[in-house]
Every structure is written in structure tokens, then in C-alpha cells.
Amino acid sequence: MPKAHQEWKVLPHGRLVEVDQNIWTVTGELRMPLADLQRRMTVVRLAGGGLLIYSAIALDASGMGMLESYGQPRFLVVPSDKHRLDARIWKDRYPAMQVATPAGSRKKVEEVVPVDTTDPEFGDPGVQFVTVPGTGAHEAALVVHSPYGATLVLNDLVGNVRNAKGFGGWFLRAMQFAGDEPQVPRPVKWTMVEGKEALRNKFLQWAEIPKLQRILVSHGEVIDDEPAEVLRDLAQSLAPERDDELAKTY
């Protein structure tokens, strides 16, 4: 995992795109030892006018100017201890921001930036912070409601990288960050999922969110084609019988 940045460092990224009322997202590129990996930041404007930043990415001057035109950053959600890269520099830039992370990640996140809470209150009933069951309290998600429907914001639990090419693409496909459909990546299953049944049940619960319009993931494309059905398929991939089937292939 790259070392957390100590000063504002802009890596390659795209532009902020509005995906729903008061929700924007931007993707960037992160160079890893074996593959370049897409990463995503999500920005939510809260009912009080302030911004919630989920999985922060340092943007260039134009991007930051656009972001600040939407509101003042008030909350920084570090969704896991593996997504600390730009946390400190965002806190340095906006000292009044409250930093939130799930309880299981707090110790490692605090090696980079002080954490204010593991149970944030955003002052907006339409925005929910979720410590994801089955992850040892190491992963945080958001559920954001708007007049047009709901958006589920996930971190590493689901990979949906498309059109991955070359050796790096082969590696991402082998690790199930990339492929023809959304998947729970193998490294996530190996190192982060401590309770498959609890996570499976959470996927099924999220699938019942009324008017679920999309899933935003940290690594990959937006999932907006039957997102509820995708969650049910992901739950099925964690079922005990799937483990038995995989075991027979090795």
C-alpha cells in the first residue's frame, strides 16, 4: 500500500461528474506494483449545505474549485485503513473537517490522521454511515437517498473494473477486481471478510433498498444496471455451496 501523502499531491484523475442530485464522483489512477488501479472519490452535499467526502482524492486546482463551489467540506470518511493515502492532506487543507472511519480501521487510520468518530452524525436523515457486517468493522459504506432514488457507496467490497488490458489487466482479472461482471475481489475475501454469512445478509438487505438506482465502488465502473440484482448475485457468490464448488476445482 502506498505511503500516505504528506503534502498536496495530484495524481492523474478525471473530472467531477454529477450522478444524482447532490452526489458527485471522480475517478483517478493509482500506480500499484503489478497494475494501475482505478480509484474513486464520492462527494455528497448534505442537507445543511456542507460536503461529505468519501475516500478522498487530491484534485487539481480546477477540480478543487469546482468541488468547493458545491459547498464546504465538513466530513471526511476514510472507508478503511487501506484508503488513507490522501486523508492527512485533506484534513490539513480543511482543518474543521470531522474525520470518520469504521472502528476496526481506527488504529491504523490514526497513524495518518486523527479520527473524530466511528459513528458519525451527518445532520442529514437521507445519508447513512454503515459499518459493514462481516468485515471486522474495517469497511464503511454509505446509503444516500434523494428524490430520485438511492445510491449505495461501497469501498473495496466489490470490484467492477472493465476493459483491463495487458499484464496489469490479467492480474486484476485474476484477483477479481476486473471482469465481465461485479465481483467480490479475492484479496478482499482472503484478508477482509471475516464473516461471509453476515456480509451475504447485508448484500441481500441492501438489495431491498427502495428505488436503488446505482452502486458506486472505489475500484471500477458505476453499477447502474439492475443494482439490486447485482447485490443478490454477490450474496450468492458468498453462499457456502459456492465455497464447496470452488474447493472441488482445486
Each residue's pLDDT tens digit in the chain (250 positions)? 668 999 999 999 999 999 999 999 999 987 766 557 789 999 999 999 999 999 999 999 999 999 999 999 999 999 999 999 999 999 999 999 999 999 999 999 999 999 999 999 999 999 999 999 999 999 999 999 999 999 999 999 998 887 766 766 777 777 777 778 999 989 888 988 999 999 999 999 999 999 999 999 999 999 999 999 999 999 999 987 655 444 444 4
Tell me the longest C-alpha to C-alpha distance in the chain: 55
Instruction: Give the model's pLDDT for residue 250.
Output: 42
For the stretch 51-74, what's the b/e string if a residue is b when 16 or more beta carbons lie within 10 angstroms of its beta carbon?
bbbbbbbbbeeebbebbeebbebb
| 87 closest CA partner among 65, 62, 109, 102 | 109
Instruction: Give the model's pLDDT for residue 242.
Output: 57
Q: What is the CATH number of domain 17-248?
A: 3.60.15.10
Phi, psi of 191 (to 5 degrees): -115, -15
Cα(114)–Cα(200) distance, integer angstroms: 32
| 32 closest CA partner among 60, 71, 3, 64 | 3
Instruction: Give the model's pLDDT for residue 34.
Output: 58
Instruction: Yes or no: say if 200 and 169 are a contact pair by the CB < 8 Å rule.
Output: no
Instruction: Give the model's pLDDT for residue 191.
Output: 84
Instruction: Yes or no: say if 30 and 15 are a contact pair by the CB < 8 Å rule.
Output: no
Instruction: Give the model's pLDDT for residue 248.
Output: 47
Cell of 227: 443494482
